[in-house]
């Protein structure tokens, strides 16, 4: 009966339209808008200042603005078609809420915060001269007590702030509290808790992290974007290291980065350098340093964009179509003929790490990263099962892999449970000849994690 079929089909189509954007809200097809935030601003919020003796007395707000403006220019050049939105282009004060609002209203796909670090300074002293003071010698007791004056020469000191020893660039992401039960319920699909499907909503503009609801939303944002934020942060750290600058790695904070918590997109904060370290302060104030950092961050964003968009094209799964000739390590032969399990085939890969290795035989030591909470994982290498439902602990589970030269070599981590503290986080120590790499991966029951090995200098 055509009269009924048409509405049913229409309804079916309409339902898809409603459901699809929601399902894919974690995976926008393209990176269209990038928000760049110059940290702090205005007289009300100068940020950190150079305070050691002979410092340039520079202010963080000026450094962040200079680097952010260069970053905006570089991103525009490198990614023509992408909308680059600065939170500020002049020295104005912005409440962090204002910064988050700008990012959310711009519907950013990425939020880059530029800051400069500082640390507590020790006080030093030096002798700048002498002075003569009068002291008294006391003799006798009671009524016979006598005070005899005498002169002493004592040093006069000058006190000053010692410069900070620490230097380098660090990248921060906001990490969700893994232990929140409420959060777990939401992430597992509590449909009563609904926030947006890829856009801004009124809750965002005035949410307060002092409320339970605010904290929950912040956690959702953080969890939703943690994989991507971590991916970008790792790439920024790598690109900074490439410039020859000291890289201090990617760190997670569970508190205290308001703008990272309040933005509905993957977000990172780059502490470009220490304003209280003389070398860093000069670097951060120099045209060369600012430009070098802007270019390094831009290269990372380019790599990130390519990777994220290629993941989308493959429907979120980068697993190669071929099985890699069964060239995996232990256990490869025995399971080669088995059909691939759904957990490997159907779950998208959300956490991707790319590792350059020199040797085609590598050793992997697998640990639980963080609290030991009975995480059970399986590991596949080029689609061959190498770890079958093992509980990971603080004790290494070790295996070796033979990489196939000229092929895509990929290791996939599949969570078989969530442990008591989701997601499943694994630390892999990968030994490649004489070098050692640490790789941290996160997987859960919806998403797998992947390490792609890039074999350099085959031998």
Distance, first Cα to last Cα, the chain? 69
* Stretch in the footprint of Zn ion (CB under 5 A) among 43-51, 122-130, 165-173, 338-346: 43-51
Calpha distance 284→269 (Å, rounded): 16
Instruction: Count residues binding Zn ion (CB under 5 A).
Output: 3
Calpha distance 292→357 (Å, rounded): 26
- Minimal distance in Å, beta carbon 204 to Zn ion? 22
| Tokens 């009269």 belong to residue | 3
DSSP symbol at 92:
-
39 versus 422: smaller Cβ distance to Zn ion: 39
- Minimal distance in Å, beta carbon 163 to Zn ion? 19
192's CB contacts (< 8 A; 6+ apart) are none
114 versus 220: smaller Cβ distance to Zn ion: 114
* Stretch in the footprint of Zn ion (CB under 5 A) among 85-93, 108-116, 246-254, 371-379: 108-116
Interface with Zn ion (CB under 5 A), residue from 41, 47, 96, 328: 47
β-pairing, 375-381 with 409-415?
Answer: antiparallel
Interface with Zn ion (CB under 5 A), residue from 28, 39, 108, 329: 39
Residue 303 main-chain phi, psi, to 5 deg: -60, -45
Where are any strands of DSSP class E within 326-417? 349-357, 361-368, 375-381, 384-392, 397-402, 409-415
259 versus 352: smaller Cβ distance to Zn ion: 259
49 versus 447: smaller Cβ distance to Zn ion: 49
* Stretch in the footprint of Zn ion (CB under 5 A) among 10-18, 115-123, 343-351, 375-383: 115-123
39 versus 329: smaller Cβ distance to Zn ion: 39
Q: Other CB atoms closer than 10 Å to residue 395's CB: what's the count?
A: 11
- Between the CA of residue 296 and those of 35, 95, 270, 272, 437, what are the distances in Å? 17, 28, 11, 11, 22
* Stretch in the footprint of Zn ion (CB under 5 A) among 37-45, 339-347, 369-377, 409-417: 37-45
- Minimal distance in Å, beta carbon 304 to Zn ion? 23
**Residue 28 in contact with Zn ion, rule: CB under 5 A:** no
Interface with Zn ion (CB under 5 A), residue from 115, 319, 350, 452: 115
Residues making contact with Zn ion (CB under 5 A): 39, 47, 115
């Amino acid at each position: 009966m055509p009269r009924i079929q048409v509405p049913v089909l229409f309804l079916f189509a309409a339902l898809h339209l409603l459901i699809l954007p929601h399902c894919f809200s974690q995976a926008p097809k393209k990176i269209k808008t990038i928000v760049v935030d110059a940290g702090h601003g205005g007289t009300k919020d100068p940020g950190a200042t150079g305070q050691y003796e002979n410092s340039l007395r520079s202010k963080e707000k000026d450094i962040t603005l200079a680097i952010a403006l260069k970053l905006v220019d570089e991103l525009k050049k490198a990614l023509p078609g992408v909308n680059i939105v600065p939170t500020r282009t002049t020295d104005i004060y912005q409440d962090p809420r204002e910064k988050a609002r700008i990012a959310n209203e711009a519907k950013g796909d990425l939020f880059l915060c530029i800051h400069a670090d500082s640390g507590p300074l020790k006080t030093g002293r030096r002798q700048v001269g002498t002075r003569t003071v009068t002291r008294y010698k006391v003799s006798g007791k009671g009524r016979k007590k006598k005070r005899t004056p005498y002169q002493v020469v004592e040093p006069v000191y000058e006190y000053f702030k010692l410069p900070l020893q620490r230097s380098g660039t660090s990248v921060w992401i906001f990490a969700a509290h893994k232990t929140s039960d409420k959060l777990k319920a939401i992430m597992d699909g509590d449909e009563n808790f609904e926030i947006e499907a890829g856009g801004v909503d009124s809750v965002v503009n005035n949410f307060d992290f002092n409320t339970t609801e605010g904290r929950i939303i912040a956690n959702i944002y953080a969890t939703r974007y943690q994989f991507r934020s971590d991916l970008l942060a790792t790439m920024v750290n790598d690109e900074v290291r490439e410039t020859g600058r000291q890289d201090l790695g990617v760190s997670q904070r569970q508190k205290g980065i308001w703008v990272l918590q309040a933005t509905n997109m993957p977000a990172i904060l780059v502490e470009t350098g220490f304003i209280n370290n003389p070398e860093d302060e000069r670097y951060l104030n120099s045209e060369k340093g600012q430009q070098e950092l802007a270019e390094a961050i831009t290269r990372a964003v380019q790599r990130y964009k390519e990777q994220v968009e290629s993941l989308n094209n493959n429907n979120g799964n980068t697993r190669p179509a071929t099985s890699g000739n069964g060239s995996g390590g232990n256990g490869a032969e025995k399971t080669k003929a088995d059909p691939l399990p759904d957990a490997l085939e159907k779950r998208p890969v959300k956490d991707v790490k790319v590792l350059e290795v020199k040797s085609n035989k590598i050793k992997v030591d697998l640990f639980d990263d963080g609290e030991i909470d009975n995480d059970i994982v399986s590991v596949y290498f080029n689609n061959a099962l190498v770890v079958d439902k093992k509980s990971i602990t603080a004790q290494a589970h070790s295996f070796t892999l033979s990489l196939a030269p000229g092929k895509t070599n990929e290791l996939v981590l599949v969570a078989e449970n969530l442990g008591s503290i989701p997601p499943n986080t694994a630390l892999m120590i990968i030994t490649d000849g004489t070098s050692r790499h640490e790789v941290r991966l996160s997987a859960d029951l919806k998403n797998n994690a992947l390490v792609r090995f890039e074999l350099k200098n085959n031998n």
